[in-house]
Structure 1
Amino acid sequence: MTLWFEQALLPGGWASRVRLSIANGRICGIETGADARPGDERHAIGLPGLPNLHSHAFQRGMAGLAEARGPGSDDFWSWRELMYRFVARIGPDELEAIAAQAYAEMLEAGFTRVGEFHYLHHAPGGGRYGDIAEMSGRIAAAAQAAGIGLTLLPVFYAHSGFGGAPPGEAQARFVTSPEVFGDLVDRSRAKLGDGDLAGIAPHSLRAATPDELRAILPVADGRPVHIHIAEQLREVEDCLGWSGRRPVEWLLGEMPVDPDWCLVHATHITPGEREALAASGAAAGLCPVTEANLGDGIFPAAAFLDAGGRIGVGTDSNVRIDAAEELRLLEYGQRLTARARNVLAQDGTSTGGRLFRAALSGGGQALGAPSGLAPGNWADIVSLDASDPALADRSGDALLDSWIFAARRPVDCVWRMGAKQVSGGRHRHREAIEARFRAALARLTA
């Protein structure tokens, strides 16, 4: 199979008249300055698919349901109570249907791989399914049905607060022990599709004690390790009260944080923590749409990137699934903080270009799957519709600037492992996936 693009973004930069040869799901050859040949599938603009490094797929089912204000002030913690009520009713069929919907929408938005931070392990009330990895299997099945690449991140969750506080009733479906966790991960890995992998995810410093963290880290076995950290100021204050140190400070001082790790959010960090995190090589997993929706705060991305830090973006709560919007809001948050423009660009360079390349590289690192249009990589490719008025008479990084900051939804086709999953902006199984999603929501809200 061969795809031909008038221009495409390669690791070394933009190239014209690019032929990508694909075999066994991978890019096996690249020609530049080449004319299209008979049988080539021709497109105008080719990009590597973006990694979505942080998702809670089931939350797509509650998108928009938490936008009415309660009797007092609303914040992350009041939103969490609504989330607990929603998740309490989700069964295996509902989880699979909601996740497939979320994953199809991710592909339509230009994401080709997702890091699923999966903590809904058990039956309502906390009872165990006959197969401890039943719900992991449903996530894997949803990813396979949608055709998206999956880095599954089974979550270790044991406590409701710092210092080993007992879990609450609403958290019973999430809770496991270090002794059981290895079996959960092993059984989850057995359910994955081709090209997929499973790391681990200690939920947070609130949910795992230091001894538990040390006990589960060998389960990663060289695969990704993701953790929520420093998302909320209350979390920082509680961590100080427990340990005398801030969350990122504690983690970097006590755990072997390296490029296999992804610190999700890391919103509230000091300059010293920021420099140490950059030096560790770990990625910061930023979720600008969700962080704005929950009122979390704004990560100091400009200073972090300038220090050599690695970043990727994720859709987290999936309240809105849009790759360009995550990148746009990341930059706009920096502009509002700094009261300046093009904050994340370097002198004389494109803002969209730096955003896209940073998210591509850092996201690929965080998900354990190198990203980019290069021989040997998975053929995860996005084409943009050159007829979109916002892309008129654009080339090179101006295309990225216009996609992120000006276009509406120009993603045309999306290939995962060389298989076309999106054409004309529509997922090939959209109708069937959406019908299952609607039926699942009808059951959950009855």
Structure 2
Amino acid sequence: MNGRFWARHAWTGTLESGVLIEVASGRIVSLRAGSAPADAVILDGLVVPGLANAHSHAFHRALRGATQVGSGTFWTWRETMYRVASALDPDGYLDLARAVYAEMALAGITCVGEFHYLHHAPGGVPYADPNAMGEALIEAAAQAGIRITLLDTCYLSSGFGAEPDSTQIRFSDGSASAWAERVESLKERDHARVGAAIHSVRAVPAAQLGTVAAWADARQAPIHVHLSEQPAENEGCVEAYGVTPTGLLADHGVLGPRATAVHATHLTGGDIALLGGTATTVCMCPTTERDLADGIGPAKDLQEAGSRLTLGSDSHAVIDLFEEARGMELDERLRTRRRGHWSAAELLRAATGDGHASLGWPEAGRLEVGAIADLVTVSLDSVRTAGPLTGAETAVFAATAADVRDVVAAGRMIVRHGVHQLVPDVPSALRTAIARLEES
């Protein structure tokens, strides 16, 4: 897409004012100071790079508000989540995911990493197209105007050595080799790339971890994995294999610069050193980790050990990458009783450039010549943002998703003045899709 955009203020790594951004074929070709030409689209606020949601389970959005009655743990929450999973089919998933991705666009997200394991029909029977559910997600992203990395997830076991249960059988291909054969038929598109994921060390037997890692290595694709989200996972792994989950992944070649460990909440010092030493990225999901009472992960220690940090909305209890960014800092303040672990610029980079890179889009997430033209305008006149403009601090520590006014994805305007241009009534789309699941 081509066009000219004039930003009243822009964050390019520093705060600049009056910036003309010229776009050709979806890329930034010129970025310079100047007055607004007559033919430019005015972006009236603070323009930041497009946000990357590095960890998403789209169907979890149907749970928002429905799991807040009573008490429980991650494991009781999971039972409700499985009931939603059992009701989905490709058409219903397309409708739900389109609405969820449109909600993400309204929040300034231009790329999502979809951690996708809901592969087959109930009972584990493949659809006529074995990738029908994944294709629904890819199409949903296209219809919402954002990019997607489909992190197709290998999920074979309900626990260490245990067969999948009646819901999990939908997730399983039977073996990592069969998983790889199915995923091989997924085709990348301009807006979609394909990566690998290992659900967790409890869901993929140790002997099959290397098959997933080898598939990703052969294609230089991202590989993501849920890691040590719960102490029970650590305990089961040590009992089954004699090492921590991080150690097991390292032993089977999963860790490395293209790998992302999601959550990484309950780690040993040795785990932190392994993740940092292999330059494995870590994706923190503060709003979900709070919502599920998972705990606070050692994000700062991981960064100091050598891991890049990214952010995800995971279960979509909240879809707001500004909240995820400041949540990581605020959780660390609670953990250490000290302020100022990251600058606002560092937190914004986790939500933008580093997030895109972890999803296999290293050319996105920056306002610079040659980058994909993703532009997000944050309003500066809401009750949250009114006041002095300090730069990235205003976006990270004052704004919320509700302050996003305009979103340009690869040069295409997909949100204008707070209205999605492709899915005009996102709340209605969400209500309709979720009601269909409830009827099922």
Same fold, TM exceeding 0.5?
Answer: yes
How far apart in 2 are the matches of 1:425 and 1:151? 25
Distance (whole Å) between structure 1 residues aligned to residue 141 and residue 399 of structure 2: 28
Q: Tell me, what secondary structure is at the counterpart of 1:169? A: coil
2:155 and 2:203 in contact (8 A); partners too: yes
Per-residue deviation, 1:135: 0.5
Q: Secondary structure at the match of 1:445?
A: helix
Deviation string for 1:146-176 (max 9, x for gaps)?
A: 01110111111111112x3211112011001
Once the two structures are superposed, the pairs formed by residues 33-432 of structure 1 within 5 Å of their partners are 33-43=33-43, 44-69=45-70, 74-162=72-160, 164-176=161-173, 177-188=175-186, 190=187, 192-220=188-216, 221-342=219-340, 344-345=341-342, 351-370=343-362, 371-395=365-389, 398-408=390-400, 409-431=402-424
Asked whether the 8 Å contact 2:209–2:252 carries over to 1, the reply is no
- What amino acid is aligned across from residue 236 of structure 2 in structure 1? D
Question: Is 2:321–2:351's contact at 8 Å kept on the other side of the alignment?
Answer: no
What is the deviation of 1:389?
A: 4.3
- Give 1:348's aligned residue: none
Distance in 1, matches of 2:307 and 2:156, equals 31
- Match in the other structure for 1:437: 430
- Look up the match of 1:15: 16
CA RMSD of aligned residues (A): 1.8
The more displaced of 298-307 and 364-373 is 298-307
In structure 1, what is the Cα distance between the partners aligned to 2:48 and 2:215?
34
TM-score, with length taken from structure 2: 0.93
What letter matches 1:386 in structure 2?
A: L
Query: Quick check: 2:310–2:355 contact (8 Å CA) kept in 1?
Result: yes
Q: Percent identity?
A: 37
Give a deviation string over 1:90-140, Cα, whole Å, max 9, x none: 111111111111111111112110000011111122221100010111001
Q: Using the TM superposition, name which of 407-416 and 75-84 deviates more.
A: 407-416
State the alpha-carbon separation in 2 of the partners of residues 231 and 22 from structure 1. Answer: 41
Deviations 1:365-414 (A, max 9, x none): 2101122112222111101112224434534xx23323333335321100
User: Contact conserved, 1:390 with 1:403, CA < 8 A, in 2?
Assistant: no
Q: CA-to-partner distance for each residue in 1:250-295, whole Å, 9 max, x for gaps?
A: 2223324211100011111122321321221111011111111111
- Residue 433 of structure 2: SS of its match in structure 1? helix
Specify which of 2, 5, 26 is matched with residue 4 of structure 2: 2
8 Å CA contact 2:344, 2:396 repeated in 1: yes
CA contact (8 A) 2:206 2:248 kept: no
Number of residue pairs matched by the alignment = 430
Instruction: Check conservation: 2:8, 2:46, Cα contact below 8 A.
Output: yes
Write the letter of the residue equivalent to 1:117. F
TM-score by length of 1: 0.92
Distance 1:353 1:376 in 2: 21
Q: Which sections of structure 2, spanning at least 5 residues, go unmatched? A: none
> What CA deviation, in whole Å up to 9, does each residue of 1:58-103 have, x standing for no partner?
111121111112xxx5111111111111211111111111111111
8 Å CA contact retained: 2:325, 2:350: no
Structure 1 unaligned segments of length 5 or more: list them. 346-350
